[in-house]
Amino acid sequence: MSLKNLLFCLIFAVFLAKTPQMRAVEPLAFDLMAYETPRLVAQADSVLNLEPKTIVTAVNPRSAGGIHDWSSEGDYWWPNPKDPKGPYIQRDGMTNPDNFVAHRQLMLSFVRTFDALAAAYKVTHNEVYAQAAVKHLKAWFIDPATRMNPNLNFAQAIHNKVTGRGTGVIDTVHFAEVALGIEVLRKSKALSAEDNAAVTQWFKEYLHWLQTSPNGVEEEAALNNHGTCWVLQAAAFAHLVNDTQVLEKCRKRFKEDLLPNQMALNGSFLRELARTKPYGYSIFNLDVMTSLAVVLSTPSENLMTFTLPDGRSMIKGVAYLAPYIADKTKWPKKPDVMYWNDWPVRQPFLIFGALSAGNQTWLNTWKKLNADPTVEEIRRNLPTRQPVLWVN
């Protein structure tokens, strides 16, 4: 071997040793399921006897859809003082309290209930929790009298301007964890073959709508957290219905689009930092993207440690934001215009990052934070509530 080739091999060996996805990770001595069991059992017991309530119990009089159609209105859109009866105008980061939010509230109640029951079943194998969870599934996705239609044609409407928008697809990002919960329930006696087929069909139809409807296609192309949320939903639903083609499409999108085009070299998300709520948006996007990396990972490919040639990875993203979660006073930008005092909570990116990188500091921070926030806006921006449903 020539001296030149020998030198190249030595340099390449050093590069491999320093590349995150090639470096061996010392696993943490931490049992997530055992740690979470007391909280999950208490949470599941508290909702065990709740009766399902779906979107048919609340009607938006301004919606162009029917009783089974999801309805929401753009958060940051307000009446125009110069034209009170005309189209609403935008005030970024400022939520209009008069907009219709009932369907969102019903969904947040459903996902909190269902996810807790499904997670409690996973850690205890108690069929009582599975039976209760299936009752809510049937109401939301199967029962003709109460089910939601598998589309978001009328989401994020703007009064006197548009009946629905692509940005509304983000409303159901919470269903990603529901899909993983359904996979857990397939191991129980409570979910019959007939009900499993019916709920799987609902998600097949919704996944088709996500990929083919004008609103779904528009949201898929979004360059910020909206695009991230589209991919997370598509990936979780494809995982549920075993659509390997869509799963591979999502993996490619993660590696060739989301990571290289959203993350800066220091691990931050520049588009989220440019918002009037940069702290909350940065947290939200990293939570969603790490959740996506977890659900798309395979035994042969860990997307949490997948690293671009310039060093960008999910671990780099966690390393950037984790110090500001541990001590918010160090945040270099102005406080968010709303909900500044309510962040952070037990962010999933911390536990996913800690387990992937073997980082005890991140795990300790995660343990100290509130696992079950009650502020509605924080709950709405925490689509991954039960990490045991994501981690095998």
User: pLDDT per residue over 324-380, tens digit each?
Assistant: 999 999 999 999 999 999 999 999 999 999 999 999 999 999 999 999 999 999 999
Cα(151)–Cα(249) distance, integer angstroms: 21
Is residue 1 assigned to a domain? no
Supply 333's token pair.
């930008």
Q: Map residue 307 onto helix, strand or coil.
A: strand
Residue 269 backbone phi and psi in degrees, to 5? -115, 105
pLDDT score recorded for residue 24: 56
137 burial via Cβ count (<10 Å: 0-12, 13-18, 19+) = buried
Cα(257)–Cα(63) distance, integer angstroms: 34
Is residue 5 assigned to a domain? no
**Average pLDDT value for the chain:** 93
Question: Which residues fall within 8 angstroms of residue 245, CB to CB, at 6 or more apart?
Answer: none
Is residue 282 assigned to a domain? yes
Mean pLDDT value of segment 255-277: 97
E strand segments, 63-216: 77-78, 89-90
User: What is the band of 4 on the pLDDT scale with cuts at 50, 70, 90?
Assistant: very low
Is residue 12 assigned to a domain? no
Is residue 8 assigned to a domain? no
Q: 163-199 burial, b for 16+ CB within 10 Å, e for fewer?
A: ebbbbbbbbbbbbbbbbbbbebbeebebbeeebeebb
The CATH number that applies at residue 256 is 1.50.10.100
pLDDT score recorded for residue 20: 41
Is residue 13 assigned to a domain? no
Q: How many DSSP H helices and E strands does the chain contain?
A: 16, 2
Is residue 9 assigned to a domain? no
Q: What is the pLDDT of residues 85-135, one digit of tens each?
A: 889 999 988 888 888 999 999 999 999 999 999 999 999 999 999 999 999
Cα(2)–Cα(50) distance, integer angstroms: 74
Q: Structurally, how many domains does the chain consist of?
A: 1
Host domain of residue 318: 19-389
Tell me which amino acid residue 31 is: D
pLDDT score recorded for residue 84: 87
Distances in Å between the Cα of 291 and the Cα atoms of 8, 67, 234, 328, 384 are: 37, 32, 12, 23, 7
Query: Do the beta carbons of residue 131 and residue 190 sit within 8 Å?
Result: yes
pLDDT score recorded for residue 383: 95
pTM: 0.91
Is residue 10 assigned to a domain? no
Cis peptide before 299 (omega within 30 of 0): no
